[in-house]
C-alpha cells in the first residue's frame, strides 16, 4: 500500500490529490477518534446530533405557524409562517394594533373588522362598552395564539357573556354573503337587537362566526387559558397595550407622521425604496418649481399693480397744475 501511494503521488506531482484520498484520510481519522472515545463521550455526541436534528421540529410545534381560520375570516398571507411584527405601510393593521408586534394578521383581516365596528357605531346604536368589547372580539383573529390554531377563533364563554350583556340592545342583521350575524348596516332591511337574535353569549358568538369554549370561566380554580377573552388573555393584551405607551413618550403632529413615514420606508423593500426616492426627488423638484413660479407670478402682479398705480398718479397729478396755471393767468 505504501508503494502504491508513493507511486501515485509521484505520478500526480504538481496536481491536487483526488477527492477520495481526502475522504479516506478523514474517515480513517474519524475511526481512530471514535475508537479512542469511551462509551459516555460517544453517547453524548449522538445525543447532540439528534438534538440538533429535532430542534427545528420542536421549535415549529412550540412557536406555531399561522393557519387561516376559515369561515368569514380572510386567509392569512403569512400562511405556514410564524407570527411576526407588522411593518407600517399598505399592509399595516387598520385595527387591532395592540397585536402589531407579533401577529398573523395584515390589512386583509383588520379592514373587515374596522368596517364592522364602524357599522356598529353608526347604525347599530351600540353603547361605548359594546363597541369596546366587540372590537376585542373582532381582534381575536390577530392574537398570535389564536392565529396558529386551526378553525375560527375560540372564544371563552365568559367573554361571550360579557359581549352579549353589553350589546344586547345593539342592532344586528344576518350578512347575506357570509351568513353570519353582523352589525346592522345602512343598506340592511332586516335589523334586530342582539337579544332578538340570541338568548345568551354563546349563541351570539356562534352566530357571529366564532367558536366557543364550552367550559365555565372558572372551573375548579383553573382559569381559561386555551380560549380568547379569558383573564390570562385579557391581561396579556392589557400588558402589550400599556408597554408601548410607557416606553415611548406620546408624540403628536408632524413628528409622529415623520416617524411613521421613516418606519414605513425602513420596512419597504430596496427596489421600492429606490422608486420612492426617485419619485420624491421629482416631487421635490416640482414643488420647488411651482413655488418659484408662484413667487415669480406674484412679483409680476405686484410690479403690474405698481405700474398701474404710477400711471394713475401721473394722470391725476397734471390736472391740478394746469388748473393752477389757468387760475394764475386769470389773476393776471
Residue 193 lies inside a defined structural domain of this protein: yes
Handedness of CA 256, 257, 258, 261 (dihedral sign): positive
Is residue 258 a part of any domain in this protein? no
In a domain, 296, yes or no: no
Q: Where are the alpha helices (DSSP H) in the chain?
A: 2-11, 19-36, 39-63, 107-122, 128-138, 144-147, 157-167, 194-197, 201-207, 231-247, 254-267, 270-316, 318-331
Better pLDDT: 146 or 287: 146
Domain assignment present for residue 27? The answer is no
Q: Which residues pair with 211 in a beta bridge?
A: 154
Residue 314 lies in a domain: no
pLDDT tens per residue across span 216-252 = 544 444 545 689 998 877 777 766 655 544 444 444 4
Residue 241 lies in a domain: yes
Range of the domain at 121: 97-248
Q: How many domains does the chain have?
A: 1
Q: pLDDT per residue over 174-225, tens digit each?
A: 988 889 999 999 989 899 999 999 999 999 999 999 999 876 544 444 545 6
pLDDT value of residue 225: 63
Question: What global pTM score does this model have?
Answer: 0.55
**Residue 33: C-alpha distances to residues 22, 48, 52, 152 (Å):** 16, 17, 21, 56
Amino acid at each position: 500500500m505504501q508503494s502504491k501511494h508513493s507511486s501515485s503521488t509521484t505520478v500526480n506531482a504538481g496536481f491536487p490529490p483526488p477527492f477520495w484520498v481526502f475522504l479516506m484520510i478523514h474517515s480513517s481519522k474519524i475511526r481512530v477518534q471514535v475508537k479512542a472515545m469511551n462509551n459516555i463521550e460517544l453517547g453524548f455526541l449522538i445525543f447532540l446530533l439528534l438534538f440538533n436534528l429535532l430542534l427545528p421540529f420542536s421549535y415549529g410545534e412550540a412557536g406555531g405557524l399561522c393557519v387561516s381560520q376559515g369561515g368569514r375570516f380572510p386567509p392569512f398571507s403569512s400562511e405556514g409562517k410564524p407570527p411576526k411584527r407588522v411593518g407600517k405601510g399598505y399592509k399595516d393593521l387598520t385595527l387591532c394594533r395592540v397585536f402589531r408586534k407579533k401577529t398573523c394578521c395584515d390589512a386583509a383581516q383588520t379592514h373587515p373588522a374596522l368596517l364592522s365596528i364602524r357599522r356598529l357605531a353608526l347604525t347599530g346604536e351600540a353603547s361605548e362598552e359594546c363597541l369596546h368589547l366587540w372590537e376585542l372580539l373582532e381582534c381575536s383573529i390577530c392574537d398570535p395564539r389564536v392565529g396558529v390554531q386551526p378553525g375560527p377563533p375560540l372564544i371563552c364563554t365568559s367573554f361571550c357573556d360579557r359581549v352579549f350583556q353589553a350589546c344586547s340592545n345593539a342592532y344586528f342583521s344576518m350578512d347575506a354573503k357570509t351568513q353570519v350575524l353582523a352589525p346592522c348596516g345602512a343598506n340592511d332591511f332586516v335589523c334586530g337587537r342582539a337579544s332578538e337574535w340570541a338568548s345568551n353569549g354563546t349563541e351570539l358568538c356562534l352566530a357571529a362566526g366564532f367558536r366557543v369554549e364550552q367550559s365555565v370561566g372558572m372551573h375548579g380554580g383553573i382559569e381559561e387559558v386555551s380560549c380568547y377573552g379569558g383573564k390570562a388573555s385579557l391581561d396579556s393584551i392589557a400588558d402589550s397595550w400599556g408597554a408601548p405607551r410607557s416606553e415611548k413618550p406620546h408624540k403628536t403632529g408632524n413628528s409622529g407622521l415623520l416617524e411613521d413615514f421613516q418606519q414605513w420606508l425602513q420596512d419597504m423593500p430596496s427596489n421600492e425604496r429606490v422608486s420612492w426616492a426617485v419619485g420624491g426627488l421629482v416631487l421635490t423638484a416640482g414643488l420647488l418649481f411651482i413655488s418659484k413660479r408662484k413667487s415669480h407670478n406674484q412679483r409680476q402682479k405686484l410690479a403690474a399693480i405698481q405700474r398701474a398705480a404710477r400711471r394713475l398718479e401721473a394722470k391725476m397729478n397734471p390736472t391740478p397744475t394746469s388748473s393752477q396755471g389757468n387760475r394764475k393767468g386769470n389773476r393776471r
